[in-house]
Amino acid sequence: LRHASGRPYRDTPAYQHIVATFRAHRVTSEKLCRAQQELHFQAATYLCLLRSVREHTALHREYHGKGERSPEEVAGLVGFRLPQQPGGKG
């Protein structure tokens, strides 16, 4: 959550919702939490979502909107080199 928002993560509605959900599902002496495993699964799923969004944003920033690229630059992006022309051309 720290990476997803520009403000302190404890002020975000997502953080407040997660904390409230965990508190609502905690095990007490009066009741047993039947959905405790489900809550951990939801937390892991949300963490995966946040990581994926962060990685997608980084990839989008790196590769999107740079306009037309030269063949040499495209080959370099995927790890190839273009063959050299005989006679010193290219």
In this predicted model, what pLDDT tens digit does every residue of 17-35 receive, in sequence order? 888 888 877 666 555 555 6
What single string gives the DSSP state of each residue in the chain? -TTT-SS-GGGSHHHHHHHHHHHHT---SS---TTHHHHHHHHHHHHHHHHHHHHHHHHHHHHSS-----HHHHHHHHT--PPPPTTS--
What average pLDDT does this structure show over 32-55? 80
pLDDT at 4: 67
Separation CA 73–CA 26 (nearest Å): 54
Report domain extents, the chain: 9-78
Longest Cα separation, the chain:
86
